[in-house]
Amino acid sequence: MRKTLTVLIVAALLIAAGAYYWYSKQPNPPTNAPIANVPQSDEPVSVFAENLDIPWDFAFLPDGGMLVTERTGSLLLISTDKSVKEIPLKRSEVRGEGGLLGLTLHPDFKNNRLIYIYMSTPSANGTVNRVERYRFTGSELTDEKLIIANIPGATYHDGGRMEFGPDGKLYITTGDATKGAIAQDKNSLGGKILRLNDDGTIPSDNPFANAVWSYGHRNPQGLAWDSAGRLWETEHGPTGEQGLCCRDEVNLIVRGGNYGWPTIAGDKTKSGMIVATRNSGTDTWAPASAAIIGNSLYFGALMGEALYEATLDGSNVTALKTHFKNEYGRIRTVRVGPDGYLYLSTSNRDGRGTPIATDDRIIRVDPKSLK
């Protein structure tokens, strides 16, 4: 009996050891797999964070936490237990729509811990914008490096969105700083989409001998790539220039493209200039972001106070849906989380909204609930 029991125990140990060895040799899960400790909820819509002060952008960390820029100048770390800690950041100037704006992680952040921040800073000639790179240790920022400076800034039209593209390059949106003519000047950094290497140098395959990738933009604030590698952008339309209103845009961006501002807007055309794939006509979206899931391009709307969903078919927008109209107020940033959910930030404390007691918030949305 004892001999039989001993044999069974030994067999069980051998099986367990074999299973452990097999498991240890399996490949790591893909990098786009959901992060297990991102706070989960069974609700299709839930609040991820609240009591924020004009959150402008946010990025998901590999450990399930989140970094958030507040336009008023704070960089926040929201941990998986929802605790909030401010990360010291030495400079940023809040002026109108300027301040602490875009935020993105290096594609290899897991190994190099590099983050990029777009901020407004004072200069002898007024506000200018710049992009700086830091190494995030988990509690502080180190190894500061200037990526690009002297981006035109003003009280309005500061751009500020940043994303790494499928090509590993850093794309940056800049506004015309209320000086429309600079959007047509390829030597100016204002009114453009810029493209840089991760260290701030200019890629050899850029269309011009500088950082400019496309030009003729008024105030672009959304960038996203579809599954075919096409770059889509959202952009604020005129608010009185040329006697025009509204005409906010969804654009398909091409290398070296001229998107017309301030020469054309809305449905106007001119040879050598690219007309928006979709514009809002006399309605106002004030689109401030872009995120793509499947063939749906989502963007937050400030004046429109909604989440919009544009249906993409190749290079066309075939339909436009509206979600959460007037439910959460001014929606700025939309990002896709590692769990496949949409995360939306409100901007109700920016002086143009009507905040509730817990604003500003980041809302988590199951995209399947929007169908």
User: What's 326's domain CATH number?
Assistant: 2.40.10
From 106, 157, 236, 323, the catalytic residue: 157
21 is a domain residue:
no
Query: What pLDDT does 125 receive?
Result: 80
> Is 339 contained in some domain?
yes
In a domain, 126, yes or no: no
Residue type, 155: T
**Could you give the CA distance from residue 40 to residue 317 in angstroms, rounded to a whole number?**
32
Tell me if 317 sits within 8 A of 331, measured CB to CB: no
**Residue 336 structural domain:** 287-371
Number of domains in the chain: 1
pLDDT < 50 positions in the chain: 1-38
What pLDDT is stored for residue 11 in this prediction?
44
Please tell me the pTM assigned to this model. Answer: 0.89
- C-alpha distances in Å from residue 327, one per residue of 330, 351, 363: 9, 18, 11
Exposed, middle or buried, 42 (CB in 10 Å: 0-12/13-18/19+)? exposed
Nearest residue to 214 via CA among 255, 185, 245? 255
Q: What is the pLDDT of residue 94?
A: 86
Q: With respect to residue 305, please indicate whether it lies within any of the assigned structural domains.
A: yes
pLDDT at 40: 60
Is residue 157 among the annotated active site residues? yes
